[in-house]
A and B are shown apart, each in its own frame.
Chain A
Amino acid sequence: MKILIVEDEPKTRDYLRKGLSEEGWIAEVASTGPEGLYLAQTGMYDAVILDVMLPGLDGFGLLQQLRKDCATPVIMLTARDQVDDRVRGLRGGADDYLVKPFSFLELLARLDLMVRRHQPQTTADLQIGDLHIDFIARRVTRQARRLSLTAKEFALLEVLARRRSHIVSKTAIAELVWDINFDTNTNVVEVAVKRLRAKLEQPGEEKLLHTVRGMGYTLEPRGEAVAE
């Protein structure tokens, strides 16, 4: 997957490129509006990350030019979060926007959503270590042990399992599991993950559900056992 990052702030540009490359994207960068427009029109990208404040040609102008002959999904970055800016960006053909300061995980989650929309992929079942999830029967088994999960616990596991080995942030979990799209300072997600983990990992079994401090959670086998 190929992505173009149009951003004039060097630090932001560099960490975006580094982070996206590590996530398996082929990331290219442009630091001015005209350069970004030229690359976007000629480079056959799967997605574009576009900053609003750019030298030469601002994000709105670039998008307007780009949309004349190109439907590449565009996510806009803006430090201004007033609704007029957003409406302008979305009307101008942006597919999504992110307000600075944003977390890198949120950007990944959105890119994931944006790209998945183009290429829907559903799997009927998943095997993660010795954990088996059957999405159609909604059955979860660990070795021979059948896990009894509530609907929300299953939804939480599904969100983590479909993004296996990726860190999923708490806000993304709240959004995807509970359809809650506002900031809460509550520890709902922590408690819910704690409960899921208790059902998922019996003493002596391998740890699957990991907490990444300050970022979120990830589901993957790492070969660590839960202490007795």
Chain B
Amino acid sequence: MTTTWADLVGTALLGTDRRGSTPEELLDSAALAVVRRRAGARPATAGARPATTPHDPRPPLPEAARRRLSLLLADRSVGGGGGSRRGAAPNLAELLPQWLAVANARGWAAPPELLPALLDAARARTDLRPDALALAGPRGLWLAELNSDWRFALRAGAPGVVPDTGDPGAVRTLWEEGLFAERVALLSRLRARDPRQALELLRSGWAAERAEDRLMFLDSLREGLSPQDEPFLEQALTDRSRNVRATAAELLSALPGSALAARMAARARTCVAWDPGGGRIGAEAPYECDAAMERDGVVAIPPAGRGERAWWFGQVVDAAPLVTWRERFGGRTPEEIIALPVADDWQADLHAAWCRAAVRQGDAAWARALLGPTPAPATAVSPVGDPAKLLSILPAPERAEWVARFIAAHGLSEAFQMLAVCAVPWAEPLGAAAVDALDIARDAGSYPWSFSGVMGLAERCMDPAEADRAAPLAAVPAESADTSPGAGAYWAEAFQRLVGTLRLRAAMLAELA
């Protein structure tokens, strides 16, 4: 009689006394059976194998860059966020976005073994997703198919997920059946490639979309906006949703040749005129906001604390094409127009509206004129409008020079927004100005954490080649009577971090070359 393993277990459970055997017999048989079973184990039958990854033609990262990526990703889990004081060590998590962007620009493929960490990082930080997923490439998507934690990668509109925009059938299917995010991604990709086809797609089911979706879709027309979009936008001026109407009006006013822009120009001309007797610009705010104005996007009810006529005035002027004023003021240049005196107290309103118009219409000449020469150090800082927004329309080198002059004159306390719109890496005069201004702030007895925002920007955005400029400042100075206690050491640490981060970025970039 053969004894099965189940028999042995049964005997063991009940006890050998009840089964008429002895413990020794049972244990001997069990030992034999266990070893026999373990030694004779057969292979299991393989389950369904995953598909194989598509070929990735990109070359693998150089070894040093691979190691760097692994450290940047590891830092995320160790320090990320961290306490208030970072010490002199570079903040690696802040460098990850830059690293990813450069690696993608240079066409490297991510090392397979780092893909799980890369996908985890992208899962935690949405700002990283586009670049992280691009670097992860087809193998990253292959992994995401297998692990539900990484499903976001399949929805994020990563390359390869959104069908080739050249395939009308696939585009149509995704547009009709896709999730909202997929549809937005599809629309913006299509818009970048073929604005007209994107518009057609949008038109196809427009009336049936939800209001908030219509708003998002309409917003995607900012990219590649052209006169061809006008009929559709004009139609959207009658939309059920007020926000959609306002966006349509805003887009139309950014098209100087549009009918809406012409209507606004006509209204603006009745408000602003040359007063030859006074030798100045005369302003006359609208007396009412009629239905036609509302249809063109003028908001009738002013925010609390603002007079309604001045409110309407601002909206009419900022939606009028800026060319209107050249005609109106005898062919003068923007600089000359801005220099003209304005009657009563309308100058601030008028100039602020022109600023908004310059930003909306992307008019560099007007932006330059409105920013003006950098205010002198003695004068109070009172730039009209939002200088950061005006700066963002200027060409990058000009932007950097203006901000550099501004910082040289006024220091850093109001420069953060302006620095943030400057192109990375900062062009030469800007980095020098920022370092000098920090040096001055130190000598003035400030503490470095008052400038932590600017410091952080400088670490991420300064040209790495300028590390040597800041290096002398990284030494701990002797304390003198007129500095704040301990500030010297903190400043030295902050500059050490700046220099360290710049050197690290230089190394990072070199590794990715």
Genuine A/B complex? no
Residue positions of A touching B, CB distance < 8 A: none
